[in-house]
Each structure stands twice: as structure tokens, then as C-alpha cells.
Amino acid sequence: MKWPPLLLFAALTGSGFAQTSTASKEVDAVFPNSRAFYVDLHQNPELSSHETQTAAKLASHLRAAGYEVTEHVGGTGVVAILKNGTGPTIMLRTELDALPVEEKTGLPYASKVHAQDDSGRDVPVMHACGHDLHMATVLGTAQIMVHSKNTWHGTLLLIGQPAEETVSGAKKMVEDGLLTRFPKPDVGVALHVSNDFPAGIVGVTSGYSYASADALRITIYGKGGHGAAPQSTIDPVVIAARTVLSLQTIVSREVKPGDAAVLTVGYIQAGTKNNLIPDHAELGLTVRAYKPEVRQQILAAIARITKAEADAAAVQRAPLIENVGSTDAVYNDPALTQKLKITLEGALGKDNVETGEPLMASEDYSYFIEQGIPSFYFALGGADPQKYSEAKNTGTQLPSNHSPLFAPDVDPALRTGITAEVAVLRDLLRTQ
């Protein structure tokens, strides 16, 4: 049957309104519980690999919703499964951990928590990266999926992953049998809130979304002595200073222009007193790149330059370079991304789905992708729309993730996140 253009337009827009209206009612039904969960999580954050209460709360909520829940996967990790007939297995992941940051948002539910970190220091703790909002979003999504089984078929696998901030939790969960003890996902989905977009907007990036990261510790060995007799020493401070400057030429002079890369020396530690030349100096580096070959090029150049600067000073012991933490880049499957971008436009409105830029931040969600799980990792706007507009107009920056002032505009961001996740999951688990 061929529809007249006016009637066709009316039918399509009417259908879209009906879908939007239904989705809004579904979100309204779960929103109060999700928001209360968010406030509880925000007030009671826990550090990486110590998310015992956080994990227990998430597990309890998902179990009460009707999921088959397994706890203590890869430490404090949570796996929740909902089966609904034959179909694909789709993974939706959230993080559990918070950061050693003192909250300064002034919110009535601001964190006042202190805890001991892994070195035994007393540190403040804050959900300064939005993982509390991610968990609250997953809970709302999980409850809607339970109550709307007529809209999808297959297996939904919800993951509460510990230790994202130390880029170690995803690997620990996989090593503990995530992909062998439970159904292996056909597709993986995750989101991350930030102030890069206003609340109500989502950002979609095809291909590389987050960079790889390597945390390096370089120890340069010299020969200590009196500061007034440098001729009898081999000064590691001077070698370190020369090394820092030489390392900065790698991105500017060795990496092909157009290939994104960052090399930052975050700290130099050496010596204890002004008139002592120490016997060693330590550098802390972070290296970021998208392409694996660029990453390897930079790491090889760091080793070459560090050795050369030490050799130039006639050191008696070669420098030690240690990789103390790394993760690959997050790569969004292009075909999957294009498909789900259209889905999100239908659920949120075309104007509320933007194309995002690849970021030099890093995420250990990449470890799931390494296991052969095609994935879609998208951005959730968290900025207050008015403050976002004012910041754009004045050229100022809103507080970023990891800032003590980071505070997403919870209500619209949470509603948008739930709506987006439900739409994506239903598309991937669509009844044929």
C-alpha cells in the first residue's frame, strides 16, 4: 500500500511520539529508585578493588529485580544475567569504583568519606568520575528490561566491574572466568558521563574512542656525593632533566604528523637535601596513542633515548624502565556504531545525538574488546545545559571528570542514560 505523503508523515511522527511517550513512562516508573540509588552511592564511595558495599548494593538491587546474580567475580565484580528465550547475548557494563579525591561540590549529599588506600594512607574518597551515575543508570535500565520482556529476546548480561580507575578490573574479571563461566557476549555496550556534552545529549564516536595508556616508571642511576664536589659524582638529576627534554621530541619529531599521541612526564623525584647529589632519580610518564604501531614506536623511542642520555653521562648502571599499568585503546565497531546511532536518534531525537571526538583519556573496557567482543561505547552528557552554554560563550571550562567539583546534572543525565541504554539493548535484542 502506498501512503499519501501527508498521511505517511503523520503516521511516522505519530509512531515516534508513541514510542517516545512509552519510553518516558517507563523511565518515570524506575527513576525514583534509580535516583535514590545514585545519592546513596555518591555519599558512600569506595576505592578501586575495595568496592565491597557498592558491589553488594548493586547485586542486591539486581537480584531483587529478578536477575541471576553472581558476586566476587575478579574480586568485587558483579555479574547479573536475565534470560529471555533464544537470541544473542548482550553485555552492558558499569564501573563500581571511586577516586581518592576530596569532594568540593557543596552538594547536600556530597561525600565525606575517608578510607585507607593500598599504601595505608588516609585519603578522601569521591565519585569524581561519574561511576555512581553509571550504576544508577544500569539499575533503571535493568528494571525496565525485566518489565518489558515482550520487546526483546535473548540474554542480557550486566557487569559491575571493579577497579576501572586502576585499569585492572576488566582483566581480573576475564581471568576469573567472565567469558567461560557465563555466556560470552556477542556485543558489548557501555557509556561514560562527562561535561563534554550538556545533559540530555549523547555523543557517538566511530572507530577509536579512547586512547591506549602506558604508565611508565623510569629510574636513572647515578653516583651520589657532595653538592660542592660534583666532579666526583654522576648527577642523576641532570641526566633526568636532559631526558625529560629529549623525550618531548618523540611526539614532535618522530611521530608522523596527524597520528595522535601524547607523552607527559608527570613527576620527577630525586634527592633529599640541597647540598647532596643523590644516587638515583625517578621519572613518571604517561603515554597515550590510538594506533598500536604508534604506541609501540613511542615506547621504543623512550627506551632508546633514556639509555642514550644515561650513556652520555657514563653511568655505571643502565636505567630501569618499568611499565606499571597499561590498557589498549577503546575501538567502536564502525558498522555497529552507525546502526546504534540511528537507534539513539529515534529514541532521543536527532538533535540530541552528536558526533563525539576521540579522547586521549583511557579505559580498561578495551580489555573486553581484546577478547573479541564487538562494542559500542558512547558518551552521556552531564553538564547543566545553562552552565554549558555560558561556558561555551565565555570560553571557560566546566569541571572535568576527576575534579573535586565534578557534579553531573543528575536528573536529565540519568533519564537520558536510561532511555539510551534501553533503546540500544532492545535494538540488539530485537524480536525478529
Summarised one tens digit per residue, pLDDT across range 190-223 is: 999 999 999 999 999 999 999 999 999 999 999 9
Q: Are strands 280-289 and 261-270 parallel, antiparallel or unpaired?
A: antiparallel
The per-residue DSSP string of 277-328 comes to: E-SEEEEEEEEEESSHHHHHHHHHHHHHHHHHHHHHTT-SS--EEEEEEEEP
Is residue 9 over pLDDT 70?
A: no
What does the mean pLDDT of the chain come to? 94
Q: Residue-wise over 346-371: b if at least 16 C-beta within 10 A, else e?
A: bbbeeebbbebebbbbbbbbbbbbee
3-class DSSP string for 94-148: EECCEECCCCCCCCCCCCCCEEECCCCCEEECECCCCHHHHHHHHHHHHHHHHCC
Higher pLDDT, 431 or 25: 25
pLDDT of residue 20: 65
Residue 363 pLDDT > 70, yes or no?
yes
Asked if pLDDT for residue 18 goes beyond 50, the answer is no
Strands 68-73, 77-84: pairing kind: antiparallel
Check pLDDT > 70 for residue 6.
no
pLDDT: which is higher, 11 or 198: 198
SS3 387: helix
Beta strand 261-270 with 353-355 is: unpaired
Does residue 222 contact residue 235 with C-beta atoms inside 8 Å? yes
Is the pLDDT at 13 greater than 90? The verdict is: no
Q: Which residues contact 274 (CB under 8 A, 6 or more apart)?
A: 227
For residue 4, what pLDDT is reported?
39
Quick one: pLDDT at residue 23? 81
Q: Could you count the other beta carbons within 10 Å of the beta carbon of residue 63?
A: 14
Give the predicted TM-score (pTM) of the model.
Answer: 0.90
pLDDT at 381: 98
How far is Cα 401 from Cα 403, in angstroms, rounded to an integer? 5
Q: What band does 12 get if pLDDT is binned at 50, 70 and 90?
A: very low
Q: What percent of the chain has pLDDT over 90?
A: 94
What residues have CB less than 8 Å from 372, skipping those under 6 apart?
none
Contact 84/152 with Cβ under 8 angstroms? Answer: yes
pLDDT reading at 83 higher than 60: yes
- Is residue 3 pLDDT above 80, yes or no? no
Q: Quick: pLDDT tens for 265-299.
A: 999 999 999 999 999 999 999 999 999 999 999 99
